Amino acid sequence: MSTTIRSLVALRHALRLSSTLALAGLIAGCNTLGREPSVTGSIPQDGYRSRHPIVVEQSREVFDVPINAHGAPMSPQLRTAVENFGNDARENRVATITMMMPKGSTNEAAAQRAGRDILAALGDAGFAASSVTKVSYAAEGPEDAAPIRLTYPRLLARVPHRCGQWPDQVIGDTTNVDYWNFGCATQANVAAMVAEPTDLVAPAPIGKGDATRRSTIVYAYRKGEKTRSEFKLPKINASQVGGSGGGE
């Protein structure tokens, strides 16, 4: 009788141990699943943006004005180009323009005379003579037909490296990712076209609402009138787009 009781107790301990081991295995399996990375796809979501980022940095806008050594007056086309340079500086909220005059070149005297015409053209663009800083630079030699260089600081958006590089082979890549040069030209074009580079750093604030229009809408709402615009687009067929056909 005692032998039978001891056997039952031993069997109970064995079953309890096996249950404990099974439960520990399940918990370990859950922990293993929890440590696996959460991967939703094999293609990077921002691959070309990381490889070809758009950076905003301090740069300089430069315009070289060619100077004739014989002292010929500035042509109307060149004067217009100088004035447009000043207008661009105004749009970029520039306070001063630097005018670099050549020194020691064969056209040094002609450059001094052309400088007055440049000041007049910049004056037409809204820059007073006191807003133009004149400095000198050494020409490469007496025979150098050195230009007058106009420059002002500005923020520039660009891709920090040259596009068109192929460090890896396109054929034979089995990783299901885009090639290295992919997206570089698009990023460079976006950087070149952006009107305000600071918008790439932080968005511009939303302007104030039209108080007059808001009052009109509230007044119409209180009277129970329609508050939406009555403008309707004409109904035309796809074949009439760009043609002379009218609406139906």
Q: What is the pLDDT of residue 234?
A: 77
Give the number of C-alpha atoms closer than 13 A to the C-alpha of residue 210, restricted to the C-beta side. Answer: 6
**Contact in structure between 101 and 141 (CB atoms under 8 Å):** no
The pLDDT mean for the chain works out to 81
CA distance 122 to 127: 5
Q: Phi and psi at residue 102, in whole multiples of 5°?
A: -70, 145
State the CATH number of the domain containing residue 185.
3.30.1330.60
For the purposes of burial, counting CB atoms within 10 Å of the CB of 69, is it exposed (0-12), middle (13-18) or buried (19 or more)? middle
* Residue 208 within a domain: no
Give the pTM.
0.56
* Residue 155 within a domain: yes
* Residue 146 within a domain: yes
* Residue 161 within a domain: yes
- Is residue 29 pLDDT above 70, yes or no? no
* Residue 84 within a domain: yes
222 vs 2, which has greater pLDDT?
222
- Is residue 177 pLDDT above 60, yes or no? yes
Number of domains in the chain: 1
Side-by-side strand order, sheet with 97-103: 55-65, 148-158, 97-103, 132-138
Q: What is the pLDDT of residue 6?
A: 59
* Residue 130 within a domain: yes
* Residue 236 within a domain: no
Can you give the residue range of the structural domain that contains 192? Answer: 43-166+177-201
248 — pLDDT class (breaks 50, 70, 90) = very low
* Residue 77 within a domain: yes
Side chain identity at residue 173, one-letter code: D
